[in-house]
Amino acid sequence: MTTFNRRQLLGLGLGAAAAVSLAACGDDDKGPATTGNGGKDYTGPKVTINLWNGFTGGDGDIFKKLVDQFNTEHANIAITVATYKWEDYYAKLPGAVSSGNGPDIAVMHMDMIATFAARKVIQPVDDVASALGLSESDFAATVWKGGLYQSKRYGIPLDMHPVGMYYNKALFQKAGLDPAKPPTNRSEFEATLTALKGAGIQGFWISPFQFTGGMTGYSLVHQFGGALYNADATKATFNSDQAVEAVSWLTKLIADGHSPANVGQDADYLALKSNQNAININGIWQVNDLKKSPDVQWGVAPVPQIGTRKAVWANSHNFTIVQQKTTDANKVAGAKVFINWLSQHSLDWAAGGQVPARNAVRDDPKFKELTEVNTLAAELPDAAFPPAAPGIGDVTNLFYTAFNEAVLGKKAPKQALDDGVAKADKLLEDNRKKYGS
């Protein structure tokens, strides 16, 4: 794990925004109270700011180190962090906010932003973006747009996390394959599986669950030219011919014996680690996990292009500012300073197995040194991020349920996806009524 001291960081020259924040680093806490200037600096009385995240993996420790560093550098801002499992986190956030127990800053996946914005759990942060001169050109375009809801900005992107292809080099060698040359397209991929099968290896275990079979299916639907939704996310389209073709391609691999049936939760990944499964499409976050198992010979590469175009599932963590019952201008100002600071220090965050959202940070040579993470960063131009519509996460779950039924052979792929879309369209309509959009 790479760590940087502050001197190095200051020397990195992280683009225009960095210069702005340097001024904030040496401030004293005697300055007059302000209502905030969009995160450039904060000179008011000491504030304590509560931040919630869902980083329960090794990423939580890295996040905490960054927060400690921030607190040391900012005498008048103290960030306290609370961490919950993501599913618990999203469940408890609305109740916490409505009861006045919510955090000041909430870290959120981009597909949740619209939902929480529509419900007024979080507030616009347009001024952060404008005061810091942030614009679309500083970020990957889809991620930047994902923070918008009804033309207002609610999220400042921290990172991006696509899926990549992990493969077991020992098994590749056993099947006579070159571990330095993982497959990159459909014919190579299928040839790889055939070679593995010849060596008695079921090469590509397909999990029926969202993590990670569902995300593989999601990627392939986009690769085959489909999408989960139409352009404005008003209709579900994951039963299109392309989507059916994508899911059928996966289920056929099971029928052809390239994957066992009934792969359990995490079994695809654990089998990769115990030399039973050769290939697993999994999140970029597993880079750090694999490093904890030194006996495993593994490699990571971009997801091969199976369909007619490149595409991978990806999501992004964003900072949002919570809408309190009574707004404390000092807290909001301090929160914005923190968001800006961490956005610039996202190179350290990359060590947690995430790709920094800022282009400038990704172009930094220090980021290039994070070999594995950097390998997957190459996928991002083709990443298929989820759309920004309120309640969309619940609808996407219907795709994963349909995928589950198809992979487990409960229904034929077309039937499963048709049924899922019928339900999804009803839920989308229900969401429109509920959120009034």
Segment 278 to 307, residues that bind other proteins, using CB under 8 A: 283, 285-286, 289, 292-296
Interaction between residue 426 and other proteins (CB under 8 A): yes
Which region, judged by CB under 8 A, interacts with other proteins, from 152-160, 178-186, 313-321, 394-402? 394-402
Please give the distance of CA 230 from its chain centroid, rounded to a whole number.
21
Place of tokens 């497959």: 183
Applying CB under 8 A, among 310, 405, 413, 417 the residue interacting with other proteins is: 405
For 75, 263, 264, the CA distances from 82, given in Å and listed in that order, are 20, 34, 31
Least Cβ distance, residue 86 to other proteins (angstroms):
8
**Residues 22, 28: Cα–Cα separation, whole Å:** 13
Residue 28 vs 87, nearer CB to other proteins: 87
Torsion of CA 191, 192, 194, 198, to 10 degrees: 140
Site for other proteins in 247-276 (CB under 8 A): 260-267, 269-271, 273-274, 276
Answer for the pair 210, 283: CB distance below 8 angstroms, yes or no.
no
Site for other proteins in 326-385 (CB under 8 A): none
Residue 43 vs 123, nearer CB to other proteins: 123
* 10 SS3 class: helix
Place of tokens 């992280």: 14
Answer for the pair 50, 32: CB distance below 8 angstroms, yes or no.
no
Interaction between residue 22 and other proteins (CB under 8 A): no
Q: Is the dihedral of CA 403, 303, 308, 316 positive or negative?
A: positive
- Strands 122-123 and 298-301 come out as unpaired
Residue 210 vs 240, nearer CB to other proteins: 210
Which region, judged by CB under 8 A, interacts with other proteins, from 18-26, 29-37, 208-216, 223-231? 208-216
Which region, judged by CB under 8 A, interacts with other proteins, from 89-97, 129-137, 310-318, 340-348? 89-97
Site for other proteins in 105-124 (CB under 8 A): 118-121
Answer for the pair 60, 83: CB distance below 8 angstroms, yes or no.
yes
Site for other proteins in 167-206 (CB under 8 A): 205
Beta strand spans in 44-158 (E): 47-53, 77-83, 105-109, 122-123, 148-149, 152-153, 156-157
Which region, judged by CB under 8 A, interacts with other proteins, from 38-46, 246-254, 307-315, 407-415? 407-415
Least Cβ distance, residue 66 to other proteins (angstroms):
13
Least Cβ distance, residue 413 to other proteins (angstroms):
13
Least Cβ distance, residue 429 to other proteins (angstroms):
8
